[in-house]
Every structure is written in C-alpha cells, then in structure tokens.
C-alpha cells in the first residue's frame, strides 16, 4: 500500500507534465480529421448508451459496420423508418466514410421514395407524392451533411448532382455539383464532361454549355465521346453556329 | 616528469579498465535481459489461452471476408474495419492477460526466488519480462497483419478481374479510372501506420499492466483493474477537455475529472485506425508525435513499475 501511495504522486506529476502534449496532439488530430466523431451527448442520444460506451472504447468503426449491416437487413425488409434511424447512427459514428453518407442518401432518395410513391396503403396520390418528396429531402440532407464533413471528396458532389438530375430534374444544380466534384483533388475526368452535359439541358445556358463542350472536344480524341458529340451537335444547331466552325462529321 | 607520466598512464589504464568493466557489465546485463525475454516468450507461447486468442482473432479476420457481399467499396470497408478492430481488441486483451500473470505466476511457481537469488537486478528481471510480452505482441500482430493483407490482396485481385471482364468494351481511360478507384478502396500504405499504432497501444497497456501487477496480489485483480483502465483511458480525453474547458462545474466534479485526466493515459489518441480506414491520410508529424507519446508512456510506466518492484517484499 505504501509503495502505491509513493508512486501515486509521481504518476500525478507525470500527468501534469503529459497534459500539454496530450492536448496539443488531440488538437492536431482534430485538425487532421482524426477525431472522426464527436463523442458527445448528441451521439449518445443517437446510438444509445451501450453503443456509446462501445464507440468510446475504440470500437467506433466496428460498431458503425455492424449498424450498417443491420441497415442493409432493414432495407431488404423495406423497414424504411429503421433504415433511416440506423443510417443516422452510422453516419454519426463514422462521418468521414463517404460510402455511408452516399448509401444513406441513395436508400432514402431512391428506394424509400419509390416505395412511398407505390405505397398501396395510401390511396391518395397527393399524400404519396408528399411522402416521396420528403424522402428526397432526407436524401439531400444526408448528402449536404456528408459534403460538410468531407469537402474534398468528389463522390458526394457526384451523388448530389445525380439527385438533382434524376429526382428534382434540376439540370443547373446538377451541373453545378458535377463542376464542384471536378474541382476536387483526384476527381475522375468524367465530372467535367457531365457538368457540361447537364448545362446543355438548361434553358438560357446554351452558349456557356457550347463553349464548355467545345473546349472539351478540342482537347482531343480522348474527350470525343458519343454523348459529347451528340450534345455538341444539338447545341450547334440550336445556336446556329456557322458551318465552318462546327465539328466535323464522323 | 617521469613520475607524472607514470601517474597519468596509471589513470588512463584505470579509466580504460573502468570502461571495459562497464562495457562488460552492460553486455552481461543485456545478456541476462535477453535470457529472461526468451524464457518469457517461450513460457507465453506454451499457454493455450494465447493460442485460443490468436486463433479467434485470425478466424474473425478471415471470416470478415464472408460477413457481407456488398459492392467492392462496402466489402473493403467492412473487411478493413473488422480486421483492424479485431487486431486492436485481441492485441489489447493479449497485452493485459499476458502481462497480468507474469509476476504472480513466477511467485506462485517460486521461480522468481531462483532468478532473483542470482546476481540479477530487479529492473533486469522486469525489463526481460516486459520485453517477452512485447515480442509476443509484435509476433501476434505481425501474424494478423499478414493474414489481413493476404485477404485484402486476394479480394482486390478478384474484384479487379471481375471489373476488367465487365468493362472490356469501354475505353481504356474509363477502365483505368474504375481500376484505380478499386485500388484506392483496397490497401493503402497508411494502414500500416495504423497497425503500428495498434501495436504501440498494446505495448502501452502491457507496461501499465506490469505497473499494476507489481502491487496487485492476484492475477484477477490486475486484469479487472486493467479492464477499467482500458475503458476510462478511452474516456480520458473527454474528461480532460471537460475539466479544462468547463470552469463553472463544482469542485468535486472538477477534482474527479482532474484525477481521471492526470492518472490515466489518453488511449483515444491511439485510435487513428478508424479514420485511416475512412480514407484520412496520416501526416508524418502526427504519426511521429503519437509514437513519441506512446514511448513516453511506456517508459514512465516501466520506471514506476521498477520502482514499486524494487521496494516489494518477496
């Protein structure tokens, strides 16, 4: 006992000495996104007491995977409320995994919304459409929060662009998000093309779309893909581009 | 003049003899530590419980490939999370269980008296014992890493092959982009930095268990205390920040939080692997600082254990 009492002050002194180093390192971890989830009361409310303890004990990633698999099972059973709840937990635990945000948005905006539109228990079309739009909004919210947590990852911008294109039919916003994806480091080359394609569908933006598509076309054979040529020809006709400035027939 | 030269020659000879003696005693000290390390490692590898733990970890890592058949990104994410999670938990368990029994088992078998009756200083005994456990941890983590890398590589090759077959008609540029995205989702070099931090955390737990076991009377007591330390250690960073940033809390709360922050190690600082798997790149400075903090903890806890053990009545 006396030995332990003798060591305790030494450990306390060591504790005081290590404190600034620990704080500085924790701060650097946060700056470099190594404190993935904020282990606070908000997270505890989302994941429950037991899961919170597990997350706090270094099993955050494994717990997130376990909940993700549960969400997958809930999706197979078309339990949409449970899918939403589980994906909120998963994304709260692992906010830097873009895959989870993407999957959550896809389940809500595509699967749950389609299920709501085809819900046989709801005879009124207006209410089915309302439910469908609510699921679109939930999917969009997942993507917005995912982008806030991962601003340099092109994947979520691409998903947001697809959401605007396919669910909101908003080609201008779709083009904007494909352009944002193209600006991210390591973005695939198709993002620039897709941004221009989407712009070519927007009323009043034909000239800008034409310039973008033409610039891509002039980059060489690599960019001269069938859709690009088709959209370019459509815009050339619409904008009455002089014959000598048009692209060559293939 | 001659006398002075003879005297300085004598001093030189004495200091050379002294240096030789020190070098000899350092060599023999290392030899003794090495002998205890080898013996401890042999003893530990004979314990069935460690084989059970290791096999269980290997099975878990191996079976993670069958856990779920999702898209390649989901599959790689789960494979990496489960494998690295298994490495973390089993290496921590192994560190605690293996170290907790070192002194108590030797006392029970009375081998400690045989060793310490010989000219073996107590710090050499402790250092040898700890080195044996650390070696066991390194071997176990190396085995788990090899299995994990082989599995990931195997799955990566399968997915790459499938993708090449499915996209054989698309332009080479698009195929390359698809293949690169698969490679990026599979193995990256930062994972090895994450594994090193897992090993460091296990070594830290082993050093801390050694400290607890020097004043514990039973094996079970050490394990139970260390399980609590493990959980509280992960909570330490939260307690520390709350203590330092919330001055309006009561003195009792602040006192308790201060004790937690000062006594326990910040184990959350060694949980980098979750975010490494998520794709966050680990900067070299952060990696080196985390390693330095870990070595600092290990050195302090080993010193404290040596101090307590020196004063222990056997």
Hey, are the CB atoms on A4 and B68 less than 8 Å from each other? no
The residue of chain B nearest to residue A53, with distances taken between CA atoms, is B231
Q: Which two tokens stand for residue A74?
A: 């809930």
Chain A partners of B212 at a C-beta cutoff of 8 Å? none
- In whole angstroms, give the CA distance from residue A119 to residue B123: 73
Give the mean pLDDT of chain B: 83
- B15 versus B293: the higher-pLDDT residue is B293
Q: Which residue has the higher pLDDT, B66 or B273?
A: B273
What's the mean per-residue pLDDT of chain A?
86
Angle at A142 between CA A140 and CA A147, to 5 degrees: 95
Question: What's the average model confidence in pLDDT over B115-120?
Answer: 83
**pLDDT top residue among B50 and B215:** B215
Query: Average pLDDT for residues B267-287, to the nearest whole number?
Result: 83
Between A145 and B237, name the one with better pLDDT: A145
What is the distance between the alpha carbons of residues A180 and A247, in angstroms, rounded to a whole number? 28
State the pLDDT confidence band at B82, using cuts at 50, 70 and 90. Answer: confident
Cα–Cα distance, B13 to B196 (Å, whole number): 47
Average pLDDT of the segment spanning B42-68: 74
> Which residue did the predictor score with more confidence, B285 or A43?
B285
CB nearest A59 (choices: B85, B279, B293): B85
Mean pLDDT of A118-130: 88
Q: Which of A32-36, B78-82, B165-169, B259-263 has the lowest mean pLDDT?
A: A32-36
Total count of residues recorded for chain B: 314
Contacts B262 to A, Cβ<8 Å: 11-12, 15-16, 19
- Given a contact cutoff of 8 angstroms between Cβ atoms, the answer to whether B308 and B218 are in contact is no
For A223, residues 6+ apart whose C-beta sits below 8 A from its C-beta are A193, A216, A217
Confidence at A28, pLDDT banded by 50, 70, 90: confident
For B262, which of A16, A34, A69 is closest by C-beta distance? A16
Task: Select the residue of A1, A22, A64 nearest B266 (Cβ to Cβ).
Answer: A22
Cβ proximity of B119 and B307 under 8 Å: no
B51 vs A158, residue with greater confidence: A158
3-state secondary structure of B249: coil
- The whole-angstrom separation of Cα B101 and Cα B108 is 10
Residues 6-45 of A with CB under 8 A from B: 6-8, 10-12, 14-16, 18-19, 21-23, 25-26, 28-29, 32-34, 36, 39
Best probe of the A interface among B271, B298, B303, by most A CBs < 10 A, is B271
The residue that leads in pLDDT, B29 or B226, is B226
- The pLDDT confidence band at residue B17, using thresholds 50, 70 and 90, is low
Cα torsion B2, B8, B14, B16: sign:
negative
Q: What is the pLDDT of residues B182-193, one digit of tens each?
A: 888 778 888 899
**Chain A residues close to B266, C-beta within 8 Å:** 22, 25-26
Give the model's pLDDT for residue B175: 81
Number of Cβ within a 10 Å radius of residue B8: 10
Place of tokens 């973008």: A212
Interface subset of A 88-127, CB within 8 angstroms of B:
94, 96-99, 103
A65 interfaces chain B, CB cutoff of 8 Å: yes
pLDDT at B78 over 70: yes
Which residue in the set A26, A33, A59 is minimally distant from B269, CB to CB?
A: A26
Whether residues B82 and A65 touch (CB distance < 8 A) is answered with: yes
Instruction: State the pLDDT confidence band at A175, using cuts at 50, 70 and 90.
Output: very high
Query: What's the confidence (pLDDT) of residue B8?
Result: 58
Of A33, A103, A222, the CB nearest to B280: A33
Q: Which pLDDT score, from 0 to 100, does residue A178 have?
A: 96
- At A143, the pLDDT band (50, 70, 90 cuts) reads very high
Q: Which helix (H) or strand (E) holds B5?
A: helix B2-45
pLDDT band at residue A157 using 50, 70 and 90 as cut-offs: very high
pLDDT score at B7 = 58
Residues B127-154: tens digit of each pLDDT: 999 999 999 999 989 988 988 888 888 8
On the question of pLDDT at B225 being above 90, the answer is: yes
- B74·A99 Cβ contact <8 A: yes
d(CA A229, CA A213): 9
Q: What percent of chain B has pLDDT over 90?
A: 24
Predicted confidence (pLDDT) at residue B224 exceeds the cutoff of 80: yes
Which pLDDT value is given to residue A106?
A: 96
Closest C-alpha to B137, from B218, B189, B219, B210: B210
Cβ pair A29:B85 closer than 8 A: no
Task: Read off the DSSP letter of residue B217.
Answer: S
* A73 touching chain B per CB within 8 A: no
Cα distance from B304 to chain A (closest Cα, Å)? 7
Residue A8: the pLDDT is: 81
Q: Do A28 and B230 touch (CB under 8 A)?
A: no
Per residue, the 3-state secondary structure of chain A, as one string, reads: CHHHHHHHHHHHHHHHHHHHHHHHHHHHHHHCCCCCCCCCHHHHHHHCHHHHHHHHHHHHHHHHHHHHHHHHHHHHCCCHHHHHHHHHHHHHHCCCCHHHHHHHHHHHHHHHHHHHHCCCCCCCHHHHHHHHHHHHHHHHHHHHHHHHHCCCCHHHHHHHHHHHHHCCCCHHHHHHHHHHHHHCCCCCCHHHHHHHHHHHCCCCCHHHHHHHHHHHHHCCHHHCCHHHHHHHHHHHHHCCCCHHHCCCCC
Is the pLDDT at B5 greater than 60, yes or no?
no
Q: What is the mean pLDDT of residues B48-59?
A: 74
Q: Using the beta-carbon criterion (under 8 Å), do A26 and B241 form an inter-chain contact?
A: yes
Instruction: Using the predicted structure, report yes or no on whether residue B72 has a pLDDT greater than 70.
Output: no
CA of residue B281 relative to chain centroid, distance: 21
Query: If we measure between CA atoms, which residue out of B265, B234, B283, B278 comes closest to residue A29?
Result: B283
Split at pLDDT 50, 70, 90, the class of A10 is confident
Q: Determine, for residues B283 and A32 on separate chains, whether the beta-carbon distance falls below 8 Å.
A: yes
Instruction: Provide the number of CB pairs (under 8 Å) joining chain A to chain B.
Output: 142
Residue in the structure block whose two tokens are 């779920």: B68
- Long-range contacts of the stretch B301-304 (C-beta < 8 A, 24+): B301/B204, B301/B207, B301/B208, B301/B210, B301/B211, B302/B126, B302/B127, B302/B130, B302/B207, B302/B210, B302/B211, B304/A7, B304/A10, B304/A11, B304/B211
Backbone angles phi, psi at B177, to 5 degrees: -60, -45
């Amino acid at each position: 006992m006396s030995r332990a009492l003798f060591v305790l002050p030494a450990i306390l002194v060591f504790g005081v000495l290590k404190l600034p180093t620990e704080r500085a390192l924790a701060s650097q971890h946060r700056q470099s996104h190594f404190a993935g989830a904020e282990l606070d009361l908000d997270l505890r409310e989302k994941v429950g007491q037991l899961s919170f303890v597990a997350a706090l004990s270094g099993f955050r990633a494994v717990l997130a995977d376990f909940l993700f698999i549960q969400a997958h099972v809930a999706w197979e059973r078309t339990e949409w409320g449970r899918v939403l709840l589980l994906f909120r937990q998963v994304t709260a635990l692992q906010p830097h995994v873009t895959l989870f945000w993407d999957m959550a948005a896809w389940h809500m905006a595509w699967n749950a919304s389609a299920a709501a539109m085809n819900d046989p228990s709801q005879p009124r079309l207006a209410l089915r459409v309302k439910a469908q739009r609510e699921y679109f909004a939930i999917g969009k919210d997942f993507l917005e929060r995912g982008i806030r947590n991962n601003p340099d990852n092109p994947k979520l911008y691409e998903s947001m662009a697809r959401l605007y294109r396919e669910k909101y039919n908003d080609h201008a916003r779709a083009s904007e998000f494909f352009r944002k994806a193209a600006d991210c480091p390591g973005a695939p080359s198709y993002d620039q093309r897709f941004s221009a394609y989407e712009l070519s569908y927007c009323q009043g933006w034909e000239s800008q779309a034409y310039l973008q598509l033409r610039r891509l076309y002039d980059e060489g054979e690599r960019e001269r893909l069938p859709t690009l040529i088709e959209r370019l020809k459509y815009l050339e006709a619409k904008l009455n581009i002089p014959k000598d400035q048009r692209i060559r027939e293939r | 003049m001659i006398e002075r030269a003879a005297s300085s020659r004598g001093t030189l000879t004495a200091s050379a003899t002294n240096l030789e003696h020190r070098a000899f005693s350092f060599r023999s000290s290392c030899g003794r530590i090495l002998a205890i390390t080898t013996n401890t490692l042999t003893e530990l590898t004979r314990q069935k419980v460690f084989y059970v733990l290791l096999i269980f970890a290997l099975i878990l890592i191996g079976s993670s490939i069958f856990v779920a058949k999702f898209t390649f990104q989901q599959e790689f994410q789960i494979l990496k999370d489960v494998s690295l999670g298994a490495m973390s938990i089993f290496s921590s368990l192994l560190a605690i269980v293996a170290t907790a029994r070192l002194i108590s088992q030797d006392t029970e078998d009375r081998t400690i008296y045989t060793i310490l009756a010989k000219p073996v200083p107590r710090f050499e005994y402790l250092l040898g014992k700890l080195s044996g456990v650390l070696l066991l941890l390194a071997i176990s983590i190396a085995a788990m890493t090899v299995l994990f890398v082989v599995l990931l590589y195997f799955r990566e090759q399968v997915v790459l092959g499938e993708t090449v077959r499915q996209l054989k008609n698309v332009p080479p540029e698009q195929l390359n982009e698809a293949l690169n995205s698969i490679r990026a989702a599979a193995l990256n070099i930062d994972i090895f930095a994450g594994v090193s931090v897992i090993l460091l955390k296990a070594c830290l737990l082993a050093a801390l268990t050694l400290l607890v076991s020097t004043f514990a009377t039973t094996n079970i007591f050490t394990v139970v205390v260390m399980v609590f330390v493990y959980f509280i250690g992960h909570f330490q960073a939260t307690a520390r920040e709350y203590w330092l940033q919330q001055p309006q809390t009561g003195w009792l709360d602040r006192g308790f939080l201060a004790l937690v922050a000062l006594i326990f190690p910040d184990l959350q600082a060694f949980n980098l692997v979750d975010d490494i798997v998520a794709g966050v790149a680990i900067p070299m400075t952060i990696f080196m600082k985390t390693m330095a903090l870990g070595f600092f903890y290990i050195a302090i806890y080993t010193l404290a254990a040596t101090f307590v053990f020196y004063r222990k009545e056997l």
